[in-house]
Amino acid sequence: MKAHIHITLKNGVLDPQGKAIQQSLASLGFDTLENLRQGKYIEIELSDLDSATAHTKVTEMCEKLLANTVIENYEIKIIS
Amino acid sequence: MKAHIHITLKNGVLDPQGKAIQQSLASLGFDTLENLRQGKYIEIELSDLDSATAHTKVTEMCEKLLANTVIENYEIKIIS
């Protein structure tokens, strides 16, 4: 069982890393960029057999360690 | 037009950050983890009107700046 997790900054939270990337791209000539935001992407392989248990566990991982829920959102996809 | 980019380490490339996360999770009691790999996730808003042009541009961005193609793979999804 695999889980794909996207961790992104909440709307309204400043993203200095994203802004830096956007400026670097603009200086390379990519001038049609309107906005860029960077997040984290995590792939996990789990030995749990059913997807409901896996989803519960991954949610707990996000809440406890992976995401800072004050400023970040997370999205979990379970792939069996 | 939006583009979602996933940048992940190629298979066989060591992922020390992923290993650190995996060990932290194991110490929190998540013992069914078999493997964990961390990557980057970038969301871009483009003012290009057609998706073919957007795809070409984002590919160029990845090759020139966003991904280190020696050790990383990238995957682009264009969402209109």
- Nearest residue in chain A measured CA to CA from B42: A38
Which among B11, B42, B57, B62 is the top mutation candidate for probing chain A, defined by the most A β-carbons within 10 Å of its own β-carbon? B42
* CB pair distance less than 8 Å for A42 and B36: yes
Taking the Cβ of residue A6 and every Cβ of chain B, the question of whether any pair is shorter than 8 Å is answered with yes
- Nearest residue in chain A measured CA to CA from B65: A25
Report the pLDDT value the prediction gives residue A32, as an integer from 0 to 100: 86
Report the pLDDT value the prediction gives residue A25, as an integer from 0 to 100: 96
Whether B45 and B1 have beta carbons less than 8 Å apart is answered as: yes
Dig out the tokens for B8 from the structure. 């992940």
Contacting residues of A for B37, CB less than 8 Å apart: 42-43
Q: What is the DSSP letter of B50?
A: S
What ipTM, to 2 d.p.?
A: 0.89
Q: Which CATH superfamily is domain B2-79 in?
A: Phosphoribosylformylglycinamidine synthase subunit PurS (3.30.1280.10)
Taking the Cβ of residue B33 and every Cβ of chain A, the question of whether any pair is shorter than 8 Å is answered with yes
CA distance B63 to B44: 15
Question: Is 80 exceeded by the pLDDT of residue A9?
Answer: yes
Report the pLDDT value the prediction gives residue A31, as an integer from 0 to 100: 87
CA distance B67 to B2: 18
Taking the Cβ of residue B19 and every Cβ of chain A, the question of whether any pair is shorter than 8 Å is answered with no
CA distance B44 to B7: 14
Dig out the tokens for A76 from the structure. 């979990």
pLDDT tier for residue A61 given thresholds of 50, 70 and 90:
very high
CA distance B5 to A39: 10
Taking the Cβ of residue A65 and every Cβ of chain B, the question of whether any pair is shorter than 8 Å is answered with yes
Whether B65 and A25 have beta carbons less than 8 Å apart is answered as: yes
- Running along chain B, 80 residues long, what does each successive block of 10 average in pLDDT? 96 95 95 93 90 93 97 95
CA distance A46 to A78: 10
Report the pLDDT value the prediction gives residue B72, as an integer from 0 to 100: 97
